[in-house]
Amino acid sequence: MTDTTDDIAEEISFQSFEDDCRLLGSLLNDVLHREVGPRFMEKVERIRILAQSACNMRAAGIEDTAELLEKQLATELSKMDLEEGLTLARACSHYLNLMGIAETQHRVRKQRSLSRLSKSCDDIFHQLVQGGVSPNDLYNAVCKQEVEIVLTAHPTQINRRTLQYKHIRIAHLLEYNDRPDLGHEDREMLIEDLVREITSIWQTDELRRHKPTPVDEARAGLNIVEQSLWKAIPHYLRRVSNALKKHTGRPLPLTCTPIRFGSWMGGDRDGNPNVTANVTRNVSLLSRWMAIDLYIREIDSLRFELSMNQCNAALSRLAHEILEKETSSEDRHDIWSPSVQRNQLKNHPSHAPNLPTQLPARADLPSCTECKSGESQYPRLDLPGREYMPLNRQGVSGSPSKLPIKGNLHNNSPTTATANTASFSSAQLVAKRKLFSENKIGRTSFQKLLEPSQPLRPGIAPYRIVLGNVKEMLMKTQRRLELLIEGLPCETDPSEYYESPNQLMEPLVLCYDSLQSSGSGVLADGRLADLIRRVATFGMVLLKLDLRQESGRHAETLDEITRYLDMGTYSEWEEEKKIEFLIRELKGKRPLVPLSIEVVPDVKEVLDTLRVAAELGSDSFGAYVISMASNASDVLAVELLQKDSRLALSGELGRPCPGGTLRVVPLFETVKDLRGAGSVIRKLLSIDWYREHIIKNHNGHQEVMVGYSDSGKDAGRFTAAWELYKAQEDVVAACKEYGIKVTLFHGRGGSIGRGGGPTYLAIQSQPPGSVMGTLRSTEQGEMVQAKFGLPQIAVRQLEIYTTAVLLATMRPPLPPREEKWRNLMEEISNVSCQNYRDTVYENPEFLNYFHEATPQAELGFLNIGSRPTRRKSSIGIGDLRAIPWVFAWTQTRFVLPAWLGVGAGLKRACEEGHTEELRAMYKEWPFFQSTIDLIEMVLGKADVSIAKHYDEVLVAESRQELGGQLRKELMVTEKYVLVVSGHEKPLENNRSLRKLIESRLPYLNPIHMLQVEILKRLRCDNENHKLRDALLITINGIAAGMKNTG
């Protein structure tokens, strides 16, 4: 329960939220009056009033009147023509998106209004110290914490990136509107800016017309870093450091970061043929390039800021060395080519010697470069031929363009003299381009104009000398990455670029120590400290890329190899024979895959991916995740293929591969595989080679991933939650038996049906001992933007991750108090699973009912992800991916995957006399409470009347009875969930969420009814692209109103 202060703050904040909604709604209304006319807006208002009245009647318990109003609303919508329906769908959808922006601003405002924010570092550190944790233990726990948030490209983000950016601009304007010192004129200008943004949104196509590529998805993830996380990380780490200093007397070490980031975007190839080895390589290099680009911007700012002369001896020595190196470099240029002026060659040591010395006859050039005297003061140089392809510096992924050398721009018949003159001038132009623009250092004459000039001696601005050298190195690193991405030769001296974050960190820390020792600590702890913390967090790659592939693909690869070697077919062997073979090869020192082998494309892709991993190493990649893992051999197979790729590449290079081997992480997803997870880990750790490998190469850490999506689709949410809990317990116990530390990687989705829910609640409900200072978790689709899209929101989310993991480590959640609680859970789970599977997999009518009652078949037209919606071509539920399965039911407000089976299990337990025990479990067992609360949250969003409307209009009469039975099941679930929680109605303990949901209904309900009408028409005219567009817009609107999708 919240206390009175929180209630007051909440009410104040809600008033401001409602003010924002009124403001944005009024401005949208004005824009629509101008765009679509007042007559149509009268219809929109009439529909809104009908929907609002129906909601009010239902809230008051007057069901008959509510039903009549809803029927009238449906009738009004059915009379609309296609253009009107499309416009109405867009209007409601945009209003819901604007409300979502206002909700985000409401959260930001609420954070600012509280003196000590709940679940903040200050709040939790205070609680722990007051609870008896020593300051020293607290300090060590925070400094040793390792949390990694992995951003994925799961296709649940509905909004186009263009619209996301426009929404962010509106959020910034709302924040600016909160300023108390805003004058009347400033406020008027702000309103005009809002009108412009809303007009721009209305005139922008909401729909993606093409599927995004994996590289597009990766760029979206990198954009989240640039627009939000880059700013949020220093702020978050300052909060951690300040709270730590307040409660322990010591700040967070400068290079310590409790949170890092990873990505699956461009690395997750499970069921996605569009993610190839080349895509993975390019995405990884692009991530590095962007990291360098962001660091260069920060270094530029620092060079202007750190203009002081006073420094310590170490920094002075380094500045001396840099200047001496530059001076000696310039001297070498003078000796090499005295005929070329020194100011031409300064800072360009390597390109000029390679230039040819003759210009092709009759080369043309722009007239502005002609030498009027007929003689050139520069040596004659040869212009590169048509084969020369300079790097396109405008975009990393752009293709290079050829340099044209024929065709005079100004004269069709030039004389020989003119041609000669042109030739001399062209030589000047090419020399300058080659010597100034295409040099390895990457500095141009134009860039020099923008930079502070280099001092002549180290006593003047030594920080600028050192940071200038850092920038030079960063630009060389960036240039090298561009060449790698373009596939051009790149034989660079390793001393001339940064390969590891430690190389970049060293001069920055030296500057920091110098400022501190020179009495300028206030400067050291500003922008410079922020940059050091960014380097500690993001390294040289921003987001380390995980690779993911299905276990069967590795077996197919080994099949090809063993058949080629006349050893039989690997996949047909018994598990023990597989392990014996894999371990024998892992202990060997020769490559397994012969150079002469020819394999099918799918197998070649697996081998190429592992070669990319060997080429770029663990500095670029995180884990290699094996989906659908079920045996120890699944892990050992990847270890062997990885070792083989590294051996082969090392032999070609004549030196060791960069970085270390990737962590190989089994992903247990189905209920069957979750039940066997502990046994698989025990089997692996019982193998001497594997255990020694984990200790030597991975610091004694075993990582295991558990999947929430497929287990939920397989057995229902309740059973999946219980099986996940038991699997984690078993994996933790297995690792403990062998003295190995474990990190659990949670593959959570955004929706409750796929393991989503509030971060804090999820972490606090894990089994005791499963979160021991380490955690990995995915953030998927629309949740990435919702949690990390704005810096203020991102800071809050990062704090919640830190404090939840800290509490779960130092004050682990309680296990079930009694063994009979576990037995009761087992009974409920069995009944729940049986009920769920009887409906979804055993009822022959269910599949057709699912296709008729939901827009599942039409979701594929959304173009929201690069991967197919099904693993295989069959139409069954089993091969449908979990995301469209949940997404489709969310659209109808039935949200069936999150609750089906729960009611049957709880009802059986209550009828057998366990009601009081269930209530005690709810109060005393965090896992059970979390499970019930999340289901209650889903029930608060579900709507029986809306789901019934879909059935009545879209479902065949022969299957109407099934829909009626499922709606009764939903009511039974709600009844028994409330019996257990002790609440009178759903979300009674989450008043804020209930209020927010209710505020959306006048716009959300009409979109549902409009979607039903459009589906009805589209299924009679499925080639009507205008109808399809209208349907997709309703899908967008409902996703915005429900605040999650799949």
Between the CA of residue 504 and those of 413, 499, 630, 747, what are the distances in Å? 56, 9, 42, 33
Tokens representing 944 are 């029986």
Counted residue by residue, the chain has a size of 1046
Facing residues of 548 across strands?
268, 625
Distance CA 261, CA 259 (A): 7
The residues near 823 (Cβ < 8 Å, ≥ 6 apart) are none
Facing residues of 777 across strands?
149, 746
Distance CA 741, CA 702 (A): 6
The residues near 335 (Cβ < 8 Å, ≥ 6 apart) are none
Nearest residue to 743 via CA among 613, 575, 622: 622
Contact 876, 973 (CB under 8 A): no
Contact 626, 551 (CB under 8 A): yes
Q: Extract long-range pairs of 477-482: CB within 8 Å, 24+ residues apart.
A: 477/292, 478/289, 478/292, 478/293, 478/296, 478/442, 479/440, 479/442, 481/285, 481/288, 481/289, 481/292, 481/396, 482/289, 482/391, 482/393, 482/396
The residues near 636 (Cβ < 8 Å, ≥ 6 apart) are 578, 579, 582, 583, 586, 684, 687, 690
Q: Please, what is the angle between helix 677-685 and helix 632-653, to 10°?
A: 50
Please name the residue that has the structure tokens 């009601």.
915
* DSSP one-letter string for 964-1025: HHHHHHHHHHHHHHHHHHT-SSTTTT-HHHHHHHHHHHHHHHHHHHHHHHHHHHHTTSTT-H
Q: Cα 1017 to the chain's mean position, in Å?
A: 37
Pairing of strands 621-627, 663-668: parallel
CA-atom Rg of the chain in angstroms: 32
Tokens representing 1030 are 């209208």
* DSSP one-letter string for 178-212: T-TT--HHHHHHHHHHHHHHHHHHHTS--S-SSPP
Distance CA 4, CA 15 (A): 17
Active site residues: 154, 713
Residue 546 phi, psi (nearest 5)? -80, 150
Tokens representing 1027 are 């109808």
Between the CA of residue 221 and those of 214, 217, 575, what are the distances in Å? 11, 7, 39
The SS3 call for residue 440 is coil
Amino acid at 176: Y
Tokens representing 199 are 């007009």
